[in-house]
Every structure is written in C-alpha cells, then in structure tokens.
Structure 1
Amino acid sequence: MVQYSPERLDAAFSALSDATRRGVVLQLGQGDASISDLADKFHMTLTGMKKHVGVLEQAGFVATQKVGRVRKCRLGARRMDEELAWIAQYRALWEARFDALDGVIEQLKQEETSR
C-alpha cells in the first residue's frame, strides 16, 4: 500500500475545494498572469485574489514572483501524483463494490424470471 502524507493531501484537496481556485489553476494553465489580471477575470477584489493565490501557492500549485510592482503568477512545479494515487486506490475499492452489487442485482433478476 502506498504511504500518503496527510498534510500534503489536506493542503491539495483544501486548495482545490474552491471553484475560484480551480479556475485560477485552469487559467494559469493557459499562461502566466498577474494577480490583478486574475482578480479582474474572476470579478474579485485584489485582496480576495491574493488570498486565493496564497492558498494555491502554499499547496504548491502556483508560484509567484514580484516583477516591479506587479506580482506574476504561474503554475507551480508540483505534480499531483500522490493525490492521483490516493484517488485511484479509492476508485478501485468502489469499482469492486459496484461490480459486486451488479452481481447481486443480476442474481436477483435471474431468480425473479425463474419464478
């Protein structure tokens, strides 16, 4: 069984639990942007966007750099291998349970048609 860092998983899922932060990650996937540009795009205050970017930065999904008076954002170098492995583990568990349920349903159908 794979060992997971609870702190890392908590930070990742917490950061991605917000629709705005997921949107920021998606937006930065298309190219770098300033915090001001992101705030305009998401119709937010600069302070609100700074908080969202800070959460994403702490989780490693976004990196920022101050260029003059502008703070530029880009996607961070962090990959989601650990999170994907965690999800895959539970996906396999649920798929096995649903397969077993399908078997029970099929058996009940056969019993019903034989009566």
Structure 2
Amino acid sequence: MTPDNARARLNALRQEILDLSDASSEDRKPVELDQQSVGRLSRQDSMQVQAMAKAADARRTQELRRIDAALARIDEDEFGWCAECGEPIEEARLEIDPAAPRCSGCA
C-alpha cells in the first residue's frame, strides 16, 4: 500500500468516525430526572444507553489517535515500518489496517 493510498483511506476512516461521533452525541447527554414522563425502568434504560454511547465514543477516540499517529508516520516517511523492530509491516496487514504500527511478529 502506497503512502498516498493509506492517507486517503485513513482520512476516510477518520471522517467516518467523526460522523458517527456527531450522530451519537444526543445519546451521550446526561439523562434528566423527570418522573412524570419517564418511569424508573425507562430512566435506567436511558442511563444504560448513555453509558454504552460514552464507551463507544471512548473507543472512537482511541481509534482517532491511532489514525492520527499513522498519518504522522506518513508525514515522517515512517509509514509501513514496524515501530518496534524496524522491519517492514506486511502489505496484507496494512491493507486490512492501514493504521497498524507494528508488524504481525511484534503485534
């Protein structure tokens, strides 16, 4: 995978993650206590949805960090080289995950 192809895929993945985060922002908002319109079980369900949305957002944030690190490696001409052993990362591995920082042996 060429660095230009990787950059395009990483930028597309990054935008997709940001769009998902924007779409789920409503689910991460605090659950209001309004006993008139929401019963106890419904509020617990809402709190569970909120907790799951926050956990998903944390995973998206972590993935954004991986993507940003891979884009930095492209800018520094380090893309495709293992961060641990310095050997080339397998082409098939980069095709599956262009943000992979390590070869399969070090992963």
Which structure's CA Rg is the greater one?
Answer: 1
TM over 0.5: no
TM-score of the two chains, using structure 1 as the length reference: 0.30
TM value normalised by structure 2:
0.32
User: Relative CO higher for 1 or 2, CA cutoff 8 Å, sep ≥ 6?
Assistant: 2
